Structure formats: C-alpha cells, structure tokens
C-alpha cells in the first residue's frame, strides 16, 4: 500500500514536471505578442513626465500597426505610481508576478528605479532604458547586470553647466543652487561641483535642498536670493521648477538661470513668467517639437502623426511624448537585434551592444551607443537657451561620457 502511494506521488510529480515543461519558454513572450511593463507618475506633482510613457505606448502601437517586431506585437502595460517609489515597488511586483512581463521598460524616476533595482535583478527581469539619469544606472552594471538607463547621466549634465559657467562668467559668477534632496538632485549637484573643480568653493555661495513631498520652495528661493547670487541653478522637478521661476520673479530677482534637462520641457517653461525665464540655459538630446529649429523635421513630423493617431488629446508639441518615442525606437531596435528566439538574456545582450544612428527622435549628432562595459545609451547633448518663448539650441553637440 505504502509502495503504491509512493508510486502515485512519483507519477504525480512527473506529470507536474511535464505540465510545467510545456509552458516553459520566455515569460511574457508568445508566438504573437511581447508583453512589457512600466510604472511612472501618471498623477501627482511629476505627472508631466507621464508623457514619456504615453509617447512610448503610441510608438509601440504605430510599430504594431506595421506588423510588430519579428512578427510579434508589443503589449505595453504601464501603471501609475504618482512618483512614489513605494507604489512603484507594488506596481512592479504586480507586473512581474501577475502579468508575467518579459521586461520592464522606461520606468520613470531615479528613486523609483532605485527602489525596484534589487528586486528585479534578483528576479532576473530586464530593467531597460529607465527614464532616469542617475549615474549609478550606467556605472554599477557589475552588481546590477539587468539594469540599464537611457538619459544622459545627471552628474555629467551638472558638469556641463559648470563648464559653461567657467567659459562664460568665471570671474563674475556667484552661484546659488536649488536641488531636490534625493539621488536625482544630489547627482546633478555633485557633478556640478566636480565640474567647477577648485573654483567650486569660491563660486558657489549657497546651496539649498528641498524635500519632494513639500508644498512649495518659496522659502528656499528667498534664501538663495539673499545669498547675493547672480546665477541660479535649478536642479528641481515638475512644479517645483515652475515655482522657482515664479518665486524668483515675485522676489524681483533676475539671475542667470540654468535649469536641468528633465525640468525644462517647453510645456513647463511656457508656464513661467517670461521676464525670469528669458535667457535660461538647459540641454537637449531629443527633438523638442516646440523648438522652431525642428519645424518641418521628418522625425518631428512622424511624432506629430503618431501622437495625432495614438495619443487621444495629446499635445503634438509635448517634448515628453517625443522623448518617450525616442526610447521606444531604441527598444524596438534592441528587440529586432535580439532576434526571433527572444530571451531575457538576449535582450540584455542587444541593449548592451547598441549602435543606433537612425533614431529620428534624437537631435542630429546624438547616437545611441552602448557596450557591455559602457552603459550610457545617450552620452552626447547640446546646450540650449530660452528666448522669447522657446528653446534655441546653440554650440555643437558635446559629449557627456563619464
């Protein structure tokens, strides 16, 4: 009797083994679909960045309408985390454990990506082309092989502004810095300090941080003005960047302003008082449809067509949408390179061997280039200056390679 029972158990286990074997394959990939997931601030103070996910989604729909990638359609599921890393963790667990996604693509925000990095690396799920620029995403690949960012590293962006100040106003600049007090703002600040080098001590007269859960940065801006600075670095995000311009205006302060990339979308800048915003300097790497220079550009025209078709109510001059498309374009390239026999390992190989110069949503001269030991997909940018209600790129394309 006991022996029979044992045999039964063995047989059951064997059957179970067979049963799982038939469904084994790459998670999230079927013969006709690839399911990928993401999380980002669809609501809350950083909701402007939701455009990245909507733009990417629109581009995937466009690719699907033209037959998909290697015969498979891309299904992109993205969830709202309101820029709260704790919520991102919930969302990503749901995406991996319930929806069984093949990969995470373009999760938005430095803190959100940091919050999920250990978990997704332990699970062996690709965390690809994160919409975050903290240097760690490109640097620490030995510890986190499944993670790769996309944006130019924030520290290098900070260093670039430092270089610009040293080149134009090294003798006269008195610099005040407003920074978001987390890995995002601090990365920009540390790169900026490094870029100023030995001059950092004498040129920076005041730095003030803010907690991203605060209601406003009025007190911080007043404090920076009181430092007597004539140059203001805004290393902030979303509404806090807008508030900085508004409060500087309210205080009657007219410094030379530098505002970091992800806070400087034309749609955000347009909300600022013209007097204060005029002459502000930032960087660009993706084509901003609101920039007159790109009027009539083929990439911007394609983006406009896709937005009209696949983003209901979308603003065709929203730079976040186009940035999302740029990421999606690179992701589709990587999927193509990973081949018909798609695996998670294959995707990681593809994203670390990028050599893409055809991305129509990136400015001329900016290429997506990676190797297994160089994981900064975008590593070149151009400076731009806000003039009479829009951005004007100036100077050549410069490297932001760490």
Partner 1 sequence: MTNFLQQVVSGLASGGIYGSLALAIVIIHRSTGVINFAQGEMATLSAFVCWTLLDHGWSFWPAFAVTLVLSFAGGVAIQQVLIRPLQGSPLLGIVILTIGLLIAINGLTTWIWGGAAKQFAGPFSTSPINVDGVAFSKQDIGVIAVSVVVVVLVGLLFTRTKAGLGLRAAAVNPVEARLVGVRVAAMLAVGWGLAAALGAVAGVMAAPSLFLEPNMMQTVLLYSFAAAVLGGMDSPVGAVVGGLLLGVLLNLTGTYVHWIGGELRLATALAVILGVLLVRPAGLFGRTAVRRV
Which residues of this protein are in contact with partner 1, per CB under 8 A?
A: 41-45, 47-48, 50, 82, 181, 208-211, 213-220, 222-223, 225-226, 238-239, 242-243, 246, 249-253, 271, 273
Read off the tokens for 188: 């920009």
Question: Is 22 or 215 the residue whose CB approaches partner 1 more closely?
Answer: 215
CA dist., res. 351 & res. 26, Å (int): 17
CA angle 59, 183, 96 (to 5 degrees): 50
CA 4 to chain centre: 60
Read off the tokens for 375: 């994981």
Minimum gap (Å) between residue 203 Cβ and partner 1? 20
CA dist., res. 148 & res. 145, Å (int): 8
Contact 111, 97 (CB under 8 A): no
CA dist., res. 378 & res. 200, Å (int): 27
Alpha-helix runs per DSSP H in 24-84: 50-65
Question: Is 220 or 379 the residue whose CB approaches partner 1 more closely?
Answer: 220
Question: Is 13 or 226 the residue whose CB approaches partner 1 more closely?
Answer: 226
Minimum gap (Å) between residue 243 Cβ and partner 1? 7
Residue tagged 């059957």 (tokens):
15
N-term to C-term CA, the chain: 70
Minimum gap (Å) between residue 46 Cβ and partner 1? 9
CA dist., res. 399 & res. 380, Å (int): 4
Question: Is 40 or 152 the residue whose CB approaches partner 1 more closely?
Answer: 40
Report which of 173, 384, 129, 140 is spatially closest to residue 265, judged by C-alpha positions.
384
- Please name the helix (run of DSSP H) or strand (run of DSSP E) that holds residue 2, with its range, or none: helix 2-23
Question: Is 317 or 352 the residue whose CB approaches partner 1 more closely?
Answer: 317
Minimum gap (Å) between residue 251 Cβ and partner 1? 4
Minimum gap (Å) between residue 43 Cβ and partner 1? 4
Question: Is 111 or 379 the residue whose CB approaches partner 1 more closely?
Answer: 111
Question: Is 121 or 315 the residue whose CB approaches partner 1 more closely?
Answer: 315
CB atoms under 10 Å from CB of 373, counted, come to: 8
CA dist., res. 99 & res. 93, Å (int): 9
Question: Is 82 or 200 the residue whose CB approaches partner 1 more closely?
Answer: 82
Q: CB-side exposure of 198: number of CA atoms within 13 Å?
A: 0
Minimum gap (Å) between residue 254 Cβ and partner 1? 11
Q: Strand, helix or coil at 254?
A: coil
Minimum gap (Å) between residue 17 Cβ and partner 1? 46
Q: Strand, helix or coil at 134?
A: coil
Question: Is 98 or 211 the residue whose CB approaches partner 1 more closely?
Answer: 211
Q: Pairing mode, if any, of strands 355-356 and 281-284?
A: unpaired
Minimum gap (Å) between residue 179 Cβ and partner 1? 9
Minimum gap (Å) between residue 239 Cβ and partner 1? 4
Give backbone dihedrals phi and psi of 250, rounded to 5 degrees, phi first: -65, -35
Question: Is 149 or 185 the residue whose CB approaches partner 1 more closely?
Answer: 185
Minimum gap (Å) between residue 283 Cβ and partner 1? 22
CA 275 to chain centre: 29
Q: Which residues does residue 3 pair with via DSSP β-bridges, in sequence order?
A: none
Q: Which residues does residue 382 pair with via DSSP β-bridges, in sequence order?
A: 284
């Amino acid at each position: 009797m006991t022996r029979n029972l044992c045999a039964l158990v063995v047989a059951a286990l064997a059957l179970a083994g067979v049963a799982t074997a038939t469904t084994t394959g790459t998670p999230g990939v079927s013969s006709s679909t690839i399911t990928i997931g993401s999380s980002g601030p669809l609501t809350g103070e950083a909701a402007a960045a939701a455009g990245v996910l909507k733009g990417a989604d629109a581009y995937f729909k466009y690719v699907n309408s033209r037959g998909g990638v290697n015969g498979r359609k891309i299904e992109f599921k993205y969830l709202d985390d309101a820029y709260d890393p704790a919520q991102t963790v919930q969302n990503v667990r749901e995406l991996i454990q319930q929806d069984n996604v093949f990969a995470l693509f373009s999760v938005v925000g430095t803190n959100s990506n940091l919050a999920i990095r250990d978990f997704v690396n332990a699970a062996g799920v690709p965390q690809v082309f994160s919409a975050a620029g903290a240097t760690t995403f490109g640097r620490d690949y030995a510890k986190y092989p499944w993670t790769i960012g996309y944006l130019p590293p924030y520290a290098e962006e900070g260093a670039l502004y430092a270089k610009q100040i040293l080149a134009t106003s090294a003798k006269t600049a008195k610099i005040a810095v407003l920074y978001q007090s987390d890995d995002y703002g601090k990365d920009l600040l540390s790169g900026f300090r490094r870029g100023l080098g030995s001059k950092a001590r004498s040129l920076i007269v005041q730095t003030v941080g803010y907690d991203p859960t605060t209601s406003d940065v009025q007190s911080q801006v007043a404090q920076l003005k009181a430092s007597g600075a004539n140059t203001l670095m805004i290393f902030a995000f979303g509404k806090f960047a807008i508030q900085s311009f508004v409060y500087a205006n309210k205080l009657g302060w007219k410094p030379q302003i530098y505002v970091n990339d992800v806070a400087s979308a034309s749609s955000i800048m347009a909300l600022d008082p013209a007097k204060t915003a005029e002459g502000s300097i930032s960087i660009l790497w993706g084509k901003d449809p609101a920039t007159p220079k790109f009027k009539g550009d083929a990439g911007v025209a394609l983006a406009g067509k896709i937005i009209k078709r696949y983003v209901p109510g979308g603003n065709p001059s929203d730079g976040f949408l186009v940035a999302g498309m740029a990421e999606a374009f690179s992701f589709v390239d990587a999927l193509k390179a990973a081949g018909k026999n798609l695996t998670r390992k294959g995707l990681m190989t593809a994203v670390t061997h990028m050599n893409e110069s055809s991305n129509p949503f990136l400015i001329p001269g900016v290429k997506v280039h990676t190797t297994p030991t160089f994981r900064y997909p975008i590593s070149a940018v151009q400076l731009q200056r806000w003039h009479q209600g829009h951005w004007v790129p100036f100077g050549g394309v410069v490297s932001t390679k760490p």
